[in-house]
Structure formats: structure tokens, C-alpha cells
Homo-oligomer: A and B are copies of this chain.
Amino acid sequence: VKLREIGEFGLIARIKKSWPPSSPQVFQGMGDDAAVSSLLPGNDLVSTVDLLIEGIHFDLSWIAPRQLGRKSLAVNLSDLAAMGAVPRWALISLAVPSGLGVEFVDEFFAGFKEMAEAHGVLLIGGDTSSSPDRLYLSVTLLGEGKKEFLLYRHGAKPGDHLYVTGTLGDSLLGLHLARNLKGRAPSLPEKFLLDRHFDPTPRLREGKILAERRLAKAMIDVSDGLLSDLGHICGESGVGAVVWAERIPQSEAFRSLVPGAAAEGWKYALKGGEDYELLFSASAESASELETVASEWPCGLTWIGRIEPPSHGLVVQGENGPVDPSGLKGYDHFT
């Protein structure tokens, strides 16, 4: 069955049926001109939107529809994680080629719902259309938190330690792998890296703890690449930073697959995007509490550098002195 056979209202009915029309904080979900929901008393609204376009952000020959559903919400969840906010509601804009099967849409929303349920998110609205040539997705995610507890890109101070959750570079390597597998079944380490790219895990629990316990001062998620995203913290905080290249955390799978990874692997991590790890600064005094808290995080936490006065700029320190990071900028969609 193709989408053109069930039509726009058929598609909407298919999407609506698995979501409750109301819930404790949702007075009106899908099915009206707008959704109506309530923040918890005293909370502020946290909102973000992410755009995913077939052929730019994903390729349907590599990503399964269910993974795409999961990832389209995960990238937004990662943004709220980086604020230390609690995600609540999603709205989706979906433009689908009308020749696509309804199974695709069903699988997509099965994945979307898996990710949503894992984090207490409800789909409360959206808009759909046919698309002449490619799949377009825009997901708006709404959440809440108290503005004085939330974490921003500004707020880092010279002397702060710089931390990152999980490991970096896996996602970029996973993407390279996908492009070169050519039908071959992936090995276990390869499977790990593919999952890191196609099915990333947003660090919501970690972000919320960092915000609630006031352990971080400035935070961002690593979506454009460490160098680019650290640049945003530096820019918004008016500071410089040093990153110790050899401390950048790499996964075992990554090390087992990149020849000379110990020396060169950090280049992937500096440049690679879509890791969806949290990068943040914390005062030196918080270090021991932070270590205690993070010791329970399955993803781990690594101290990778320090915030410096603005005059220092952003320096990547290798074993033999500063490394020239030019040519390692993050991804720019237009250039």
C-alpha cells in the first residue's frame, strides 16, 4: 500500500492512533488546530527544532526506517540534554514521497515512539505533505526546566575543567564504514560504530544531573564536531580553551579499527560530528563530586582540557606541542 492510496488524512489517522489524545500534562494532543499542554508549576519552556533531509542528513540505503524514526527524535533529545532540561512533547513536520509504502511510515513511527517512550515524550502535533522527490523531516521538541538551573553555552570561566561524556569519533567512523561495507556483514566492533551513527543515545539523564546538582557551568552537545562545538562555548562564554588531544576518549571498537588510532584518532574526534555526547565546563572545585556522580554513568566521563582566558584562543595540545586544527572544522551544510 502506497501513501497516495491512503491519502493525507489516512496517514494522519495512522500516526494518531498510537498516541493518547490527552494525558496528565496534555489537554489537547493531535487532531486540532494546535496542541494544548501544561508545564509543571514554576517551570520554563525549553524548545528546539532539528531538520533532517534525505540525501543531506541521511541516506535511506543505509539507515533503516525504524532507526531514522529513533534518530530524528534523538538528535532533538540531545539538544535538551545539553540544556539539562526534561523533554515532554514533540511536533513533527513530515514530507514523504507519495510512492513510499505505508510500511515505511509505520516503521518510522515505531522507532520514533520507542525513543519517545524511553524518555517520556508524547507526540502532540505535526503537519504532513507529499514531497516531490525526497523525505524531509523537521522535529520540534518541547521540554521544561527552571531557567536558573538550565545550562547554556555561556557561563564557562578560565580555570574551569573541560569534560566530555562517552567517546568521540565513533559516529563519523560509523558513517565511513556504512559507505564502504558494500553488503558485507559488519564485525562486532563495526556494528558498534554503525549503531553509534545510526542509532545515537541522547545523554538526558547525565545532562539533567549536571543541571540539577549545578555541577556544570556551560554545556553543549557534540553534534557538529568537538572543535566546532567547543568553539561555540568559547564564543558565547568569551573564553579560550585548551584540549589535550591524547585525552580525547576513544571507544575500544574505534581503536581496534583505526590503524594508529592512539596517535591519529583524535583527529576524527575533533572533526567528526553527530557524536551526541555532552561537552561541558565545570569549576575545579566540583571535580571530586563530578567524578563520584559520573562513576555511575555507563557512558563514562573524561576530563579533556581546560577553559583559558580569551587571548589563548582554542588550542589543541598534542604530545609535541600545539596542533594546527585548520582543515578540521565541523560540517557546514552550505560550503
Interfacial residues, chain A to chain B (CB-CB below 8 A)? 3-4, 6-11, 27-28, 31-39, 44-51, 53, 55-57, 79-80, 82-83, 85, 89, 91-95, 98, 124-134, 136, 138, 140-143, 145, 147, 150, 152-153, 219-221, 236, 332-335
What's the nearest-Cβ distance from chain B to residue A83, in Å? Answer: 5
Interchain CB contact under 8 A, A93 and B138: yes
Interchain CB contact under 8 A, B49 and A126: yes
Choose one: B6, B140, B141, B236; the contact of A32 (CB below 8 Å).
B236
Choose one: B32, B83, B333; the contact of A34 (CB below 8 Å).
B83
A232-B3 Cα distance, complex, nearest whole Å: 21
With known contacts A82-B33, A334-B98, A131–B56 Cβ distance under 8 A: yes
User: Top 10 nearest A-B pairs by Cβ distance?
Assistant: A93-B138, A34-B48, A138-B138, A33-B82, A51-B127, A51-B93, A33-B79, A140-B140, A49-B91, A7-B335
With known contacts A46-B34, A47-B35, A82-B33, A136–B55 Cβ distance under 8 A: no
What's the nearest-Cβ distance from chain B to residue A203, in Å? Answer: 12
Choose one: B48, B49, B57; the contact of A92 (CB below 8 Å).
B49
Chain B residues closer than 8 Å to A36, beta-carbon distance? 44-46, 83, 145, 147, 150
Interchain CB contact under 8 A, A130 and B56: yes
Interchain CB contact under 8 A, A33 and B131: no
Choose one: B55, B56, B128, B152; the contact of A51 (CB below 8 Å).
B128
Interchain CB contact under 8 A, B236 and A34: no
Choose one: B28, B33, B56, B140; the contact of A220 (CB below 8 Å).
B33
What's the nearest-Cβ distance from chain B to residue A239, in Å? Answer: 16
A122-B256 Cα distance, complex, nearest whole Å: 49
Interchain CB contact under 8 A, B32 and A83: yes
Interchain CB contact under 8 A, A4 and B334: yes
Residue from A28, A35, A49, A85 whose CB has the most chain B CB atoms within 10 Å: A49
What's the nearest-Cβ distance from chain B to residue A72, in Å? Answer: 12
With known contacts A27-B147, A150-B36, A51–B138 Cβ distance under 8 A: yes
Interchain CB contact under 8 A, A51 and B95: yes
Choose one: B9, B48, B95, B236; the contact of A91 (CB below 8 Å).
B48
Chain B residues closer than 8 Å to A89, beta-carbon distance? 47
Residue from A38, A55, A92 whose CB has the most chain B CB atoms within 10 Å: A38
Chain B residues closer than 8 Å to A136, beta-carbon distance? 51, 53, 95, 136, 138
Q: Which residue of B lies closest to A141 (CB)?
A: B34
